[in-house]
Amino acid sequence: MKKFLALVQRDLILVYRSANDAWVVLFFFVIAVTLFPLGIGPDPSVLQQFSGGIIWICALLSAMLSLDGVFQSDFDDGSLDQMILTSYPLELLVLGKCFVHWLTTGFPILLISPVLATMLNMNLDSYSTLLITMLLGTPTISLMGGVGAALVLGSRLSGVLISLIILPLIIPILIFSVAAINASGEGMEISSAVKLLGALLIISSVFCPWATAATLRNLTY
């Protein structure tokens, strides 16, 4: 656990020193959401109907912007090789890097999404559901994104390739999250969609670090 916390602290310091990347993700999210009212019109009823889908689509696209850099800097300076050679489980170190990615991308998106939901005239009953789905869905994106980041490591087209790999995997997150938000706005039960999101998070927490670690070992040897 000490090594896990040390890695998290180290990566947070690196993100702080290059804070532009984190701000770009957040600004992209805000700009993308604000473009939708210009495209589909300012009708409050129309915006309310699609508010959940708009926010989640923009959140998915924003989170993927920085996925290709999860391991790239460590790969370039040789730190990744040192991590693999240590006696500590690589899966735990991978989990720490995915956690840092969520803290610097998913968590800010989660915090600002209610403000943007207000702009889109989202039903007041859906705000808590939006936060719940964001809390369950965004860490899953970071975990699945870690697998994609490991697969495209070292590629010149990593940004494009990671999108092609990850998008099909995270479509269920979008479907269940939007379904829960729409159901809460209509006063319907949301427990099924929320449980499915929780199940995806648990499964990703178990299998994605293992798959990512196995991919990194194969790439570096």
Q: For the chain, which residues make up each domain, given as ranges?
A: 2-220
The dihedral formed by the CA atoms of 189, 194, 196 and 199, expressed in degrees to the nearest 10: -150
* Spatial separation of the C-alpha atoms in residues 153 and 186, rounded to whole Å: 44
Category of 115 on φ-ψ map: left (φ > 0), alpha (ψ -120 to 50) or beta: alpha
> pLDDT tens for residues 11-54?
777 777 666 667 888 899 999 999 988 888 778 888 888 889 99
Query: 166 phi and psi, to 5 degrees?
Result: -85, -35
Token pair for residue 214?
A: 């196995």
Give CA–CA dist 161/149, Å, rounded. Answer: 9
pLDDT tens across 184-216, in order?
888 788 889 999 999 999 999 999 999 988 888
Q: Per-residue pLDDT tens for 152-167?
A: 887 776 677 888 888 8
Long-range contact set of residues 35-42: C-beta below 8 Å, sequence gap at least 24: 36/120, 37/119, 37/120
Of the spans 119-123, 129-133, 165-169, which averages the highest pLDDT? 129-133
- Specify the pLDDT at position 180: 93
d(CA 29, CA 58): 6
Q: What is the pTM of this model?
A: 0.88
**DSSP helix/strand/coil, 153:** coil
pLDDT at 221: 55
